[in-house]
Amino acid sequence: MTVSRVLRNRGDVSDATRLKVTEAAKRLGYVPNKIAGALASQRVNLVAVIIPSLSNMVFPEVLTSINEVLDETPLQPVFGVTNYQPEKEESVLFEMLSWRPSGVIIAGLEHTDAARAMMRNADVPIVEIMDLDGDPIDAIVGVSQRRAGREMAEAIIKAGYREIGFMGTNMPLDHRARKRFEGFSEALADAGIEISDQEFYSGGSALVKGREMTEAILKRSPDLDFLYYSNDMIGAGGLLYCLANGIDVPGQVGLAGFNGVELLNGLPKQLATMDAERHKIGRAAAEIIAARSRGEDAPQRVELTPKLQFGDTLIRS
């Protein structure tokens, strides 16, 4: 009865006892069931979709593809945003699982121990998306972020660039950007090249941030001949800065981003990038949830390959 009062946040329970109960529940991955006990299925036709950001153009496109698939089924997606914060992800996951959804689609492979315990104990299909570089809890759909970083570095080296700068998000939080950076750095090292300069930021992927970082890194390291950005939005900001300041792209400075965001197709020059296959990722993840909700077999692992797009900012070798 004491445990029930704590978990329902009712009754007179001491702070010490309340702490013991909540810590035990967290350690066990226990999530209370908010559905009326009379429901025979103990499930609702909801699919929890948990992503780190809505300001990053990648994730709304993933959500669109998930919704398109689930529109053809009785299932309804509900969305939660974590802002790249592990504790926030844990909280969102807790609330969503408490309604006993029919499945979970969640971005990334890095979670707190409590979040992993909750998903393992949920007894519903779990699909981790976007990243293949790690150990999934259940099913997984995505691309190898490390390989994507390596392939971009190899294309840059082959084009003859040698003084390379990198600009990206706050790496401890954006694990996929971190892994691309690791793969990128490893490929450069294999060719005997070190990254000449770096610039990092926290916050949304904005054009203005790309302009500011590009200005800062080029003033600090004027000999750079290539700039690799962790995403297309800041890369587009860098391109606009270069064009506004008479910098020859890609002759004097080459540029590349990541994600293949279609929104940027109207730029004066097409940014070199890699298509992260986000539409296919969203569809494949939703199809796995839909199939397993019908009791059908579904793949445990779907590996997609990002495609390099040279655009107008990376010299074709």
User: What is the share, in percent, of the chain residues with pLDDT greater than 70?
Assistant: 96
φ/ψ of residue 236, rounded to 5: -65, -40
Of 16-20, 126-130, 221-225, 302-306, least confident by mean pLDDT is: 16-20
Of 125-134, 203-212, 245-254, least confident by mean pLDDT is: 203-212
Question: What is the per-residue pLDDT across 239-297, written as a single tens digit (0 to 9) for each?
Answer: 999 999 999 999 999 999 999 987 778 889 999 999 989 999 999 999 999 999 999 99
Q: Are 260 and 309 in contact (CB under 8 A)?
A: yes
What is the rounded CA–CA span in Å between residue 131 and residue 183? 13
Nearest CA to 142 among 258, 272, 291, 285?
285
Q: Residue 41 — pLDDT band, cuts 50, 70, 90? A: low
What is the rounded CA–CA span in Å between residue 206 and residue 24? 42
What pLDDT sits at residue 53?
A: 87
User: What is the share, in percent, of the chain residues with pLDDT greater than 90?
Assistant: 75
Q: Is the pLDDT of residue 314 over 50?
A: yes
| Residue recorded with tokens 């490929």 | 187
Q: What are the structural domains, with CATH classification, of the chain?
A: 1-30 (no CATH), 35-144+278-304 (3.40.50.2300), 145-275 (3.40.50.2300)
Q: Is the pLDDT of residue 175 over 80?
A: yes
What pLDDT sits at residue 171?
A: 75
What pLDDT sits at residue 38?
A: 38
* 3 state SS of 275: strand
Burial degree of 198 (CB within 10 A; 0-12, 13-18, 19+):
middle
Of 45-54, 118-127, 203-212, least confident by mean pLDDT is: 203-212
What pLDDT sits at residue 248?
A: 97
Question: What is the per-residue pLDDT across 60-87, written as a single tens digit (0 to 9) for each?
Answer: 889 999 999 999 999 999 999 999 999 9
How large is the average pLDDT for residues 8-24?
84
Nearest CA to 273 among 310, 238, 227, 241?
310
Element (H, E) at 217: helix 207-220
What pLDDT sits at residue 37?
A: 46
Q: Is the pLDDT of residue 5 over 90?
A: no
What pLDDT sits at residue 10?
A: 67
What is the rounded CA–CA span in Å between residue 78 and residue 251? 47
| Mean pLDDT rounded to a whole number for the chain | 92
pTM of the shown model: 0.86
What is the rounded CA–CA span in Å between residue 238 and residue 256? 10
- Distance linking the first and last C-alpha atoms of the chain: 71
Burial degree of 11 (CB within 10 A; 0-12, 13-18, 19+):
exposed
Token reading at 20: 């013991």
- Measure Cα distances from 126 to 48, 140, 168, 169 in Å: 9, 8, 29, 27
Nearest CA to 200 among 182, 219, 178?
178
